[in-house]
Amino acid sequence: MKSHTEYLWFNTKDKREYINITPQVDAALAKSKIKEGMVLVSAMHITAGVYVNDDEGGIIRDIDEWVDKLAPFKKDYHHHRTGESNADAHLKSLLIHHEVIVPVTDGKLDFGPWQQIYYAEFDGQRKKRVIVKVMGE
């Protein structure tokens, strides 16, 4: 089995953003020359996530409103007693999850219709990274 690793770096303009990273993952897969296997894409920060869904503005807004409803910003989180103010970002990351695995078939990401890979940032405006690890033959 072969593997290929790349890191994607983000420093978002806003505190919360959703970024389609499918082209960068596709590029890493092409560099790997792996034809059959899988790609692991994982946010390496506890206030960010990675997910697979549609590249459509309405669903992105729905996801944003959903995570905000379940994990709203508020001042009385226990985590804030440590001097932090980003407990909601930690909880949003748990809802979205931090990684996805996408199958690789014949050298291509083997998606269903309309599927794309997204990086979800919940506590941005600072440098963070995502690992892309392609594994297979």
State the pLDDT at residue 10.
Answer: 97
Q: What is the pLDDT of residues 4-24, one digit of tens each?
A: 999 999 999 999 999 999 999
Specify the pLDDT at position 55. Answer: 94
pLDDT given for residue 45 in this prediction: 96
- What percentage of the chain exceeds 90 in pLDDT? 100
Fill in the amino acid letter for 72: P
What is the pTM (predicted TM-score) of this model?
0.95
Predicted confidence at residue 69, as pLDDT, reads 98
Q: According to the model, what pLDDT value does residue 111 have?
A: 96
pLDDT confidence band for 40 (50 / 70 / 90): very high
Residue-by-residue DSSP string for the chain: -EEEEEEEEE--SSSSEEEE-HHHHHHHHHHHT--SEEEEEEE-STTEEEEEEE--HHHHHHHHHHHHHHS---TT-GGGGGT---HHHHHHHHHH-SEEEEEEETTEE---TTEEEEEEESS-SS-EEEEEEEEE-
CATH number, domain containing residue 27: 2.60.120.460
pLDDT number for residue 88: 97
Domain extent, residue 82, equals 2-136
Asked if 20 and 125 count as a contact pair (C-beta separation under 8 A), the reply is no
Q: pLDDT (tens digit, 9 = 90+) per residue, 56-71?
A: 999 999 999 999 999 9
Query: How many structural domains compose the chain?
Result: 1
pLDDT confidence bin for 108, thresholds 50/70/90: very high
